Amino acid sequence: MSRIEDVFRRSLASGSAVLIGYLTAGDPRQEYTVRFAETLLEGGVDILELGAPFSDPVADGVTIQASSQRALAAGTTLRDTIKLTAEIKKRHEAPIVILSYLNPIHRMEFRRFFQEAGAAGVDGVVVPDLPVEESSSFREEAQRAGVNTIFLASPTTSESRLDKILKASKGFVYLVSLLGVTGVRRDVSPEALRLLERVKARRERPYAAVGFGVSTPDHVSLLVRSGAEGVIVGSALVRIVEENLNNPEDCAERLGSLAIRLKEAARF
């Protein structure tokens, strides 16, 4: 059992879905990332998702796109994201998942990337633009390094492709709640609930976590009542960073406050 699976198992047994919180590594400065991550973990985030900044994050909306630009301007790279993971791991045992687009990983080469990621304590990797059909060598290197591969499924994913994604996903599967990019939304889409039902109907599958547009405690509560085993909150957290670029202490306080409320809403 991986560390990610163990967190799901223990959290669900205690009456709570898993709360996964996203930050863009190096936004607005690398030294802030560790502080913000600690605040989220202390506030109740069970799994931290660190986004490696990329110049063309096609799955992300304007909030996370802007955070990537700030992190890139600060000189943050994929390797820096791995190093930040190692720094956070010195203080916290919570699993950390890196989200990266394929190009930076491909430039490092899969084997080297997973060797460095595994050594730093990275528990899982999400690559939004890697098709599951072309992922065999990627998954082989991940398995060798003991890193979970987490794939995304959307409301338009066919039944046959959904089966492939569930088989290839280790730790959890990332369910995209809507058609479009990341970003704060007013409501949880009906498509998200239907996708969740489709996944949970499978007898053999990883844990199911829902992201994209999950922004408020009410969203979290609705998804948990609908059977989500995990919820992923990104843009709402990154927006707090954006609103407090010159006030890291205020930013950390607001991040921690939201994490507490989101975790409370994750109880069932």
Quote the number of domains for the chain: 1
- 197, with CB counted inside 10 A (0-12, 13-18, 19+), is exposed
Active-site residue numbers?
49, 60
Strand 172-176 vs strand 47-51: parallel, antiparallel, or unpaired?
unpaired
Quote the strand ranges of the chain, DSSP E.
18-24, 47-51, 96-99, 124-126, 148-150, 152-153, 172-176, 207-211, 230-233
The domain that holds 260 is classified in CATH as: 3.20.20.70
Q: 237 to each of 77, 121, 197, 221, 252, how far by Cα in Å?
A: 21, 23, 27, 17, 10
* Range 54-58, long-range pairs (CB < 8 A, 24+ positions): 54/100, 54/101, 54/103, 54/104, 56/101, 57/101, 58/101, 58/128, 58/129, 58/181
Cα 82 from Cα 53, distance rounded (Å): 12
pLDDT of residue 60: 72
What pLDDT sits at residue 180? 45
Q: Contact, 241 vs 27, CB < 8 A?
A: yes
Report pLDDT for 212: 87
pLDDT in tens, the chain (268 residues): 999 999 999 999 999 999 999 999 999 999 999 999 999 999 999 999 999 999 887 767 789 999 999 999 999 999 999 999 999 999 999 999 999 999 999 999 999 999 999 999 999 999 999 999 999 999 999 999 999 999 999 999 999 999 999 999 999 999 998 654 454 555 677 888 999 999 999 989 999 999 988 999 999 999 999 999 999 999 999 999 999 999 999 999 999 999 999 999 999 9
Q: What is the pLDDT of residue 187?
A: 62
Task: Give the pTM.
Answer: 0.95
Q: Which amino acid is residue 158, in one-letter code?
A: S
Domain of 246 in residue numbering reads as 3-265
